[in-house]
Structure 1
Amino acid sequence: MNKIPQGFNNNIIWNAAHCVAVQQALVYKLSGLPTIVSKEFILKYSKGAKPEGDVSQTEVDEIKTLLSATLHQTQKDFDDHIFVNFHEYTTSLGNTIKDINGALEFNNYHEGLHTGVIMSIRKFV
């Protein structure tokens, strides 16, 4: 989980946590709502951040839990229609996200990219 293969900037667990952090920023922060995870977590795993050292088993377990807990909470919050306001955001790819539906669609794309990275890293560790 912590090994960074040659040619990569991060590791498996960083990519998994990055997906959680970006989902929280795209869906909750851009909706003006509090995130489920801490600001520190989002900063630690945001775009441009890199692993700061090995992640403990406790933190790995927390990240694994967050992968499903944030998904289920987002589904509940979406069903409860809490995503009323949204601050437009243009991604580094030039896509402008205008509402919660766009945020969820872009998040799926983003998670797909990082799933591919995780699968590539697995081949080297």
Structure 2
Amino acid sequence: MKNYIFKQLRYVRENTISCVSKINDESSLFIPEGFNNNIKWNLGHIYVVQEKFAFNIINERTTMPNNISDLFSTGTKPTDWGEQVLPTISELIQLLEKQVDRIEQTLEYRFKEAIEKPFTTSTGLTLATVEELLSFCLYHEGMHFASINSFKRIIQNERKNMVH
């Protein structure tokens, strides 16, 4: 029987993708007042962090196209992007769709495996096993999903206000 975390990773990812499936690239770049990032950054960041936690930290091969890490790693923000070529929303969705399958194929039998050097998150939580790394990804993506959902509502309200 597969570990419950795969079911949860897939559930959270499907919700994230469903939330942005009708967002266009222009809307995805909108940075609401008082915020540092946008929907596109949140999507790319979810992808980059999950690559780090599911693959990089345990010395597995990551799939990081072009400059994706430079654009979406922790500490980056859209105002620093300059003239860099950005992935489209559709390209980010494709990466996100394939990621959970790769995680499941690579880590299905490695949940209890201790990682070489425990990893401490920016918020101070120390993770020591593959299972702990993947479990943290659920929290991380859920947090960014909430941001994406809020940004989407702000964008929809902005459009309504422009019409009136």
Return the TM-score normalized by structure 1: 0.87
State the match for 2:128 in structure 1. 98
Residues 18 and 50 (structure 1), Cα distance of their counterparts in 2 relative to 1, 3 Å cut = same
Post-superposition offset of 1:44: 1.6
- 2:114 is equivalent to residue 73 of structure 1: no
2:111 & 2:60 partners in 1: Cα distance?
A: 9
Note if contact 2:111-2:130 (Cα within 8 Å) is conserved in structure 1.
no
- 2:69 is equivalent to residue 42 of structure 1: yes
2:51 & 2:131 partners in 1: Cα distance?
A: 14
1:59 & 1:105 partners in 2: Cα distance?
A: 28
Give the unaligned 5+ runs of structure 1: none
1:78 & 1:36 partners in 2: Cα distance?
A: 15
1:78 & 1:53 partners in 2: Cα distance?
A: 37
1:106 & 1:16 partners in 2: Cα distance?
A: 17
Residues 63 and 54 (structure 1), Cα distance of their counterparts in 2 relative to 1, 3 Å cut = farther
Identity of aligned residues (%): 29
Note if contact 2:42-2:144 (Cα within 8 Å) is conserved in structure 1.
yes
Deviates more, 1:103-112 or 1:53-62: 53-62
Return the TM-score normalized by structure 2: 0.68
1:53 & 1:82 partners in 2: Cα distance?
A: 40
SS of the counterpart of 2:88?
Answer: helix
- 2:46 is equivalent to residue 16 of structure 1: no
Residues 61 and 47 (structure 1), Cα distance of their counterparts in 2 relative to 1, 3 Å cut = same
Give the unaligned 5+ runs of structure 2: 1-27, 156-164
**2:71 corresponds to which letter in structure 1?**
K
Post-superposition offset of 1:79: 2.1
**1:77 corresponds to which letter in structure 2?**
T
State the match for 2:6 in structure 1. none
Residues 24 and 43 (structure 1), Cα distance of their counterparts in 2 relative to 1, 3 Å cut = same
Post-superposition offset of 1:8: 1.1
